[in-house]
Amino acid sequence: MQFAPFVVDNPNQMPNNAELPTGVNGQRFNRRLDLMKDLEGDFAKAGAQRQVEGHQALYTSAAQLVLSPQLKAFDLNQEKDGVRDLYGRSSFGQGCLLARRLVETGVTFVEVESDGWDTHQNNFDRTKSLSTDVDKGFAALLADLRERGMLEKTLVIWMGEFGRTPRINGNNGRDHFPRAFTVALAGGGVKGGQVVGKTSADGSDVTDRPVGVADLFCTFCHALKINPHKENIGPFDRPIKIVDGGKPVKELFGTS
| pLDDT level of residue 139 (50, 70, 90 thresholds) | very high
Residue 2 has pLDDT above 80, yes or no: no
State residue 32's pLDDT score: 94
Residue 124 has pLDDT above 70, yes or no: yes
Amino acid at 88: G
Euclidean distance between the first and the last CA atom of the chain, given in angstroms as a whole number: 40
- The pair phi, psi for residue 164, each rounded to 5°, is -120, 150
Q: What is the pLDDT of residues 12-34, one digit of tens each?
A: 999 988 888 899 999 999 999 99
Residue 192 has pLDDT above 80, yes or no: yes
The overall average pLDDT reported for the chain is: 94
State residue 105's pLDDT score: 96
Residue 163 has pLDDT above 80, yes or no: yes
Q: Which of 22, 21, 122, 105 is nearest to 63 (CA)?
A: 21
Determine the average pLDDT of the residues in 112-124: 97
DSSP-derived 3-state class of residue 239: strand
Residues near 207 by Cβ (< 8 Å), separated by ≥ 6? 198, 199, 200
Residue 256 has pLDDT above 60, yes or no: no
Determine the average pLDDT of the residues in 119-139: 97
- The pair phi, psi for residue 207, each rounded to 5°, is -110, -15
DSSP-derived 3-state class of residue 109: coil
Q: Give me the helices (H) in 69-180, please.
A: 81-87, 91-104, 123-147
Determine the average pLDDT of the residues in 213-219: 97
Determine the average pLDDT of the residues in 80-91: 97
| pLDDT level of residue 87 (50, 70, 90 thresholds) | very high
- Let me know if 66 is exposed, middle or buried by CB neighbors in 10 A (0-12, 13-18, 19+): middle
State residue 71's pLDDT score: 94
Residue 68 has pLDDT above 90, yes or no: yes
State residue 255's pLDDT score: 65
State residue 3's pLDDT score: 79
Cα dihedral value 114, 116, 117, 122, nearest 10 = -150
List for the chain the helix, strand, coil content (%; round to 5).
45, 10, 45
State residue 126's pLDDT score: 96
Task: State what percent of residues in the chain have pLDDT above 70.
Answer: 99
State residue 21's pLDDT score: 87
Residue 223 has pLDDT above 60, yes or no: yes
DSSP-derived 3-state class of residue 220: helix
Rounded Cα gap, residues 250 and 256, in angstroms? 6
Amino acid at 103: V
State residue 94's pLDDT score: 98
Determine the average pLDDT of the residues in 198-203: 95
